[in-house]
């Protein structure tokens, strides 16, 4: 699982850099300052949890279920939380009018982040040093 976690984290890290650059350079003057702020929030949490996934790879040799839960929760959190904020930030540019479903998805993504951190905490408690 170590290789899988690193590969996924590398992909998510690559996407975070690309999306961060796009937000800094491609959205300026096209969306409001508020929407750019929302984009930045999405990108920060995207990065934080990508780095958290890399940290998970240090535990992966233990192959505990808690690490797998944290890994999946962080991926889901990034997709739901950051993904929904990326879409909300650019909805006018993308021509997305019906964004009602994105409202509940954002906090659901936050809940997955919380689950991931709890699972990591549990894995650390159970880890034999």
pLDDT tens for residues 15-49? Answer: 999 999 999 999 999 999 999 999 999 999 999 99
pTM value surpassing 0.85: yes
In this prediction, residue 1 carries a pLDDT of 56
Q: What is the 3-state secondary structure (H, E, C) of the chain?
A: CHHHHHHHHHHHHHHHHHHHHHHHHHCCCCCCHHHHHHHHHHHHHHHHHHHHHHHHCCCHHHCCHHHHHHHHHHHHHHHHHHHHHHHHHCHHHHCCCCCCCHHHHHHHHHHHHHHHHHHHHHHHHHCCC
In this prediction, residue 67 carries a pLDDT of 93
- Enumerate residue ranges in the chain where pLDDT < 50: none
In this prediction, residue 61 carries a pLDDT of 63
């Amino acid at each position: 699982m170590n290789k899988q976690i690193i590969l996924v984290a590398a992909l998510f890290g690559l996407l975070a850099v690309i999306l961060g650059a796009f937000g800094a350079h491609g959205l300026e003057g096209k969306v409001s300052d508020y929407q750019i702020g929302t984009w930045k929030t999405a990108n920060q949490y995207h990065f934080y949890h990508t780095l958290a996934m890399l940290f998970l790879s240090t535990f992966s040799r233990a192959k505990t279920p808690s690490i797998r839960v944290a890994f999946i929760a962080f991926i889901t959190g990034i997709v739901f939380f950051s993904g929904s904020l990326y879409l909300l930030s650019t909805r006018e540019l993308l021509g997305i009018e019906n964004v009602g479903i994105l409202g509940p998805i954002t906090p659901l993504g936050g809940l997955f982040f919380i689950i991931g951190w709890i699972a990591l905490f549990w894995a650390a408690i159970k880890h034999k040093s």
